[in-house]
Structure 1
């Protein structure tokens, strides 16, 4: 028996449920298929549980610093990891339950549990049942990559999903991968009481950022007692009694480090290898990401790919924007494009890094006449008042066109303050216009005009 729908959505991540809401509101009969948890990575093993844990780690850190603010808390500060875990799990469960209730109440939406596979361009098999629709939307997300590294099959290595399930702090956590996911876990578990070592194959942390940003992040983490091992050209794993030895270098010291737990945080891969995409002749690139055009359509008429699986964005907000683009184009007669999206994201260490648009290095690589302005947090009143003066602000602009190219705010509230610049880039505000804004004092954002007023040629 073949059940026919107007649209089929594979995956209930950030784009799926919202798209189901728009399509059913437009009178369509929709099937939404989810093989595991509603909400995708963000709700279940990414943003929500990890940021809940970051909040607990910050509370522990602030409690230890209470004396700096003239506050006495008395006694040793301890962390109850079971309660930390329970709090994060509740945040996840509440969000997931809310989404499930919404989908259940959605008229004309049929939610199916199981693994979906294509058996033709517009035909899907799930749990032995055949479904078909003229429009199919793939929203299957991604998972932690597990490259074939020497000895990796001889030891137990954890990924981000495993980390949010821990209810006790490791004795010594070794984080392999010095980028966004790895650094957030490194700092939070250091604050939970673990010894932490970060191992990075490259010459510096978060290599996509400008070198001054990477250097400042390294300084922030090392001040908290996190060991950073870059240029680790000989990463390998082997059992060491009840613990794990991780190789760092082949010919120089230290050659290895021994820890109780290893987090592998070396990138992501799309969940596209078991969807039967070949049966529908849906194209993928060499890394497995589904190939889409500027409107998120695949090479097969009526089939779209949204979220992390299309390789056009690895964030919750970009997945949601994918939904917005598809819905606007299909239902509202608009012509929205992925290439119009301004890049924005954050690194949730403490203090956080907020990023918008191009970096200085990207602007220079593109051959643009780059202007740059910076200001250390030691000269930002709000940061001084809060006793959080690590980091700095940086804005990049095009000297000829006056366009703001990008910004980095590494400091207290950097993930929020960056939106002033992100919004200005989105609407095309010339950088000089921001110089004459009258921001609120005392805030981090109030220094944006000051930074702009001191801009000078890059390099």
Structure 2
């Protein structure tokens, strides 16, 4: 069942729609055989369309709902806007520690918070709008798409013939099978940003990146938030040390945290929505005004008639692709959330570039997720790139980790942002960097430095000599490299002494 919370039409929705789904839009007549037909206009589809059109290829872009996909309309953009408002509100209540006390308790205007979010979403939509794409020569068609043959797609029963096709239909919220949940209204990432009033009590089901981000944001805005996670820690893709720092931060904010807890049922009790929980053998109940389901995402593969085109897929894992993002049909490729386990905007964009270059230029570039950074935008932020320790062990790769705590970084101390660390994993016996985890207030920015370092092959020895501004939180990266250099010098001295 789809999430059932009622939708509203914000006042500035008309401008957004003119950019992402004009109400008076008429699909263009198909023209011959397209070099590339793209199904889905999220980050992957938009990236592919713009790349191909700028190089002179004929492109048709099909979208069922709105341009921008989840990232623009119900994901990265709106969530980060609300997170920023929540951070600002939280900082106003902590100014005493900086010597600038506020004479009275700050007042939250939730309507203004949501209006700001919608304004930001509308502004960013302009950069990949219908008008911008049409000016590039992209044929934009709104409607449901399905394959009619190995080289034909139907859009509202109108056929488009292609030389190459890219499926970039993304993913949607996964709804867990909870008895009683389908009979009541609940929110997902698709509808949480339509709320007009701040809920007094909010329950978040799921402790992945989006669940943790929104739980902390709404807690800081003033909701009493309970977050329920079935496993023993938050953020399954992150290390335990990073997840524990996040747990401490959320507990400090006043959040009710339920780890190792499953939701066994849901029911209504008057105006309240009640979740029945199970923690080992202990039963419990959580009453709330709103329920937010953040239990992962499932790929959008249904109703495309992929089998007709010779494309193999799984409803849980998505479309099957090789390292070049080709499907079982050599003329059809896939990119982004519909085929990849890492469901992030930058992953979708990167994979789309690889797919379209291979499809249209006979390139042989492989999609490599090992150098794609990601970040969970809580406070502190948690970012990662490359291998984790357990992944290295599973692959029998000996590594050594060098860690700098943010409590030892001058800029973090002056900013009062000392929670977290920088941890860099190095191949044993060399200075090659294999991965890094950063937990810090600015981890989303610091991890980009690590992405440049790793993609260009800079080792720890050279990194130790790179001059950073002072003071800066990125100085933690330099300190980690210098720690490696001291370790290497000590090992060399001991080796020399042993030989002597």
Q: Same fold (TM over 0.5)?
A: yes
Find the counterpart in structure 1 of residue 135 from structure 2: 105
Aligned counterparts of 1:363 and 1:340: Cα–Cα separation in 2: 15
Report SS of the residue matched to 1:236: strand
Q: How does 1:10-409 map to 2 (within 5 A)?
A: 10-99=39-128, 100-107=130-137, 109-249=138-278, 252-253=281-282, 255-285=284-314, 287-331=316-360, 334-339=363-368, 341-409=370-438
Residues 344-382 of structure 1 show CA distances to partners (whole Å, capped at 9, x for unaligned) of: 100000121121111222222322222112222222111
State the distance in 1 between where 2:427 and 2:415 align: 33
1:411 and 1:171 map into 2 onto residues whose CA distance is 29
Q: Structure 1 unaligned runs (5+)?
A: none
Matches of 1:240 and 1:340, distance apart in 2: 46
2:465 aligned to which of 420, 424, 436: 436
8 Å Cα contact 1:373/1:451 also seen in 2: yes
User: For the residues of structure 2 that align with 1:399 and 1:25, how far apart are their CA atoms?
Assistant: 44
Provide the C-alpha distance between the structure 2 equivalents of 1:326 and 1:247, rounded to a whole number of angstroms.
45
Does the C-alpha gap of structure 1 residues 174 and 302 become closer, same or farther in structure 2, counting only changes over 3 Å? same
Q: Deviations over 1:139-172 (max 9, x none)?
A: 1111110122222213222101211222221111
Take 1:118 and 1:69, find their aligned partners in 2: how far apart are those partners? 61
- Residue 5 of structure 1: aligned partner: 33
362-371 or 79-88, which deviates more:
362-371
Distance of 1:253 and 1:21 partners within structure 2: 54
User: What TM-score comes out, normalization by structure 1 length?
Assistant: 0.94
On the 8 A contact 2:346/2:372 being kept in 1, the answer is no
The 2-side partners of 1:141 and 1:412 are apart by 29
State the Cα distance separating 1:326 from its structure 2 match: 2.6
Map Cα deviations across residues 245-288 of structure 1 (whole Å, 9 max, x no partner): 22222665462221111111111001111111122221013525
Output one character per residue of 1:166-223: Cα deviation in whole Å (capped at 9) or x when no partner: 2221111111111101000001001110001110101111122111111111011111
CA shift in 2, pair 1:120/1:145, >3 Å: same
State how far apart, in whole Å, the 1-side matches of 2:219 and 2:445 are. Answer: 24
Following superposition, the deviation at residue 66 of structure 1 comes to: 1.7
Counterpart for residue 476 of structure 2 = 447
Specify the alignment match of 1:419 in structure 2.
448
- Deviation at residue 72 of structure 1 after TM alignment: 3.3
Q: How many residues align?
A: 456
Structure 2 CA distance, aligned partners of 1:272 and 1:317?
21
Mapped contact 1:238–1:244 kept (Cα < 8 A)? yes
Q: Distance in 2 between matches of 1:47 and 1:57?
A: 15
CA contact (8 A) 2:169 2:338 kept: yes
C-alpha distance in 1 between matches for 2:159 and 2:139? 14
Instruction: Measure the CA separation in 1 of the matches of 2:97 and 2:467.
Output: 32
CA distance in 2, matches of 1:285, 1:49: 30
> Which SS does the other structure have where 2:371 is aligned?
coil
1:47: how far off? Answer: 0.8
Against the structure 1 CA distance between its residues 400 and 243, is the aligned structure 2 distance closer, same or farther, given a 3 Å change threshold?
Answer: same
Cα separation, partners in 2 of 1:5 and 1:430, compared to 1, 3 Å: same
Partner SS state of residue 304, structure 2:
coil
Choose 426-435 or 202-211, whichever is displaced more: 426-435
Q: Measured at CA, do residues 300 and 207 of structure 1 come closer, stay the same or move farther in structure 2, by a change above 3 Å? A: same
Compute the RMSD of aligned alpha carbons.
2.0
Aligned CA distance change for structure 1 residues 439 and 215 (closer, same or farther; 3 Å): same
